Chain A
């Protein structure tokens, strides 16, 4: 992966009639990265993808692919290829004919077309399926054909519009890993549109979280999860407990807080977002796995709070506890791995909860 941007979005605006779908999107997508557009339905992520593909024209701003402005360039002359949500496999053509569809225009010799098609099919594990008709394929196979059809064109960017949403859970999880591996081995830039935060976290190098036509944050999966810039981003990616808090001081060491549910703490400066005004902090966030139930009396932690279990959800490998801390009404969620010899605590149990200053996320 290089730092060179393959796609540059500059103040991209899109309006449908009086409705603003995108309000000035700015982003650079690097060559060779797996980039995801993540957001709830209606946030404009699909519109943005379709504009990169050339199916929609921006109402304002500019899209550059490989340094060239795409203004006025139709979809059929852009170095991008799309995997559609419905896969859009041509029903009147065989698998091989589908994959060869785009090659016909390149005027290659017949043997070369056959070679390319076979290579693409083996890349997606569909060797020997060339003669099948489109309706003989399963959902997962259609998805692979759609991918092969895009890859065979050797595009600079592959665009994927919720390609896994129609598959069942098991197959979806398998395809997430396979797609990621394929992307890394061929090194082509992939842009994925999804509303599934888990999918985005698993597959991406970087993720742009979008709400209502704006990009809220662009970061690596880990960066997004650990340092969400807003409560909205934090609650969209995984589970986040929000706790009321009040700043009591700010200096070079960090920000001192009074969190009624947990106690007093100083969040180290390395975990404080740049330019944060401590006085504007009204709440903090803490992830369920950052809180630990201290099962044994001898267990210790950086800081400890007391609470009562109000309910439990058993997931097999994990148990999610709702715990009311320090007499607070609203319980927090915390997750514990179910290790050997550790039974699930019943509701009403009094527990000690261990936590640390570095797990606290500050929100303005």
Chain B
């Protein structure tokens, strides 16, 4: 194959990334998809193509419950995170005039400790003898430690929202920074008060950032398994925990693969819908 100089240059530039992507993303993905059509036969794998794993994944109530819970948790986490992130991004963009870089730097503080440590931190705060319960009993507000704090879905939501907040703040901040301030003055000049101006100009123009934040938080949280495992208890388990069990203790990799592919398809579809809705909504924003 004869390539012109430019094409060769381009290919050379992307080849390390390409090799990396093929080896570590495409190949494992393909393996997982292939596995999902096979059957586990004790220690062997029966390589006859079958849809049985998918039938089981989509009909067994336990799996359906887990995938719905995963989606529900990630939707709540996304909603909470984006709603909490917006005011912070807004404040940063519109009210911080000096040392913006320092503020951005401070927002990344949660990244300075490992994810695992941050999850444990919430365990310490929310636990039966945790910081929150001790403080409340110490102050005499409650007689017995609260038990609804840890080992349930609430704990999962709180922990995930905290972990993903910076990821949600930054895209919204960037979108807000890009808004020409004279547009806000124009809206005011044409009769809008602060609230109307926000809903007619600021929010529509910040929409691309909001959509980006939504996707950035939603997609990884559906598949999170560390947080539900550590703070979710039995009620807070999510689909990823089941996938992990299938690949590990249950020794049924094909079923695990089918569950993984199923949830991947669902998340992709939801993301696509959000993306398209966002594009329609903010389509004319250049």
A residues contacting B by CB (< 8 A) are 53, 55, 74-77, 80-82, 84-86, 88, 90-94, 101-102, 105, 133-135, 149, 153
User: Contacts A86-B182, A88-B180, A91-B205 known; A102 to B191 CB distance under 8 Å?
Assistant: yes
A164 vs B192: C-alpha distance in the bound complex, in angstroms?
26
For residue A54, give the distance in angstroms from its CB to the closest CB of chain B: 8
B144 on interface, CB distance cutoff 8 Å: no
Q: How many pairs, one residue from A and one from B, have CB atoms within 8 Å of each other in the complex? A: 67
Which residue on chain A has the smallest CB distance to residue B200? A101
Chain A interface secondary structure, helix, strand, loop or mixed?
A: mixed
Which residue on chain B has the smallest CB distance to residue A84? B182
User: Contacts A75-B189, A76-B192, A91-B205 known; A86 to B180 CB distance under 8 Å?
Assistant: yes
A74: which B residues are within 8 A, CB to CB? 188, 193
A82: which B residues are within 8 A, CB to CB? 185-186, 189
B193: which A residues are within 8 A, CB to CB? 74, 76
B87: which A residues are within 8 A, CB to CB? none
B183 on interface, CB distance cutoff 8 Å: yes
Partner pick for A92 among B182, B196, B205, CB 8 A cutoff: B205
Question: Could you tell me if B284 and A81 are in contact, using CB atoms closer than 8 angstroms?
Answer: no
User: Contacts A92-B285, A134-B284 known; A76 to B204 CB distance under 8 Å?
Assistant: no
Question: Could you tell me if A55 and B285 are in contact, using CB atoms closer than 8 angstroms?
Answer: no
Question: Could you tell me if B180 and A92 are in contact, using CB atoms closer than 8 angstroms?
Answer: no
A75 vs B201: C-alpha distance in the bound complex, in angstroms?
16
For residue A191, give the distance in angstroms from its CB to the closest CB of chain B: 14
Which residue on chain A has the smallest CB distance to residue B179? A91
A101 vs B204: C-alpha distance in the bound complex, in angstroms?
14
Leading 8 A-B pairs by shortest Cβ distance: A102-B190, A88-B186, A88-B182, A105-B191, A135-B286, A75-B188, A92-B204, A84-B182
User: Contacts A91-B284, A105-B192 known; A75 to B205 CB distance under 8 Å?
Assistant: no
Which residue on chain B has the smallest CB distance to residue A78? B189
A76 vs B185: C-alpha distance in the bound complex, in angstroms?
9
User: Contacts A75-B188, A102-B191 known; A90 to B182 CB distance under 8 Å?
Assistant: no
Question: Could you tell me if A92 and B186 are in contact, using CB atoms closer than 8 angstroms?
Answer: no
For residue B184, give the distance in angstroms from its CB to the closest CB of chain A: 9
B278 on interface, CB distance cutoff 8 Å: no
1/0 contact trace for B187-215 toward A, CB 8 Å?
A: 11111110010001100110000000000
For residue B168, give the distance in angstroms from its CB to the closest CB of chain A: 22
Which residue on chain B has the smallest CB distance to residue A153? B190
Partner pick for A84 among B186, B200, B204, B286, CB 8 A cutoff: B186
B188: which A residues are within 8 A, CB to CB? 55, 74-76
For residue A183, give the distance in angstroms from its CB to the closest CB of chain B: 19
B130 on interface, CB distance cutoff 8 Å: no
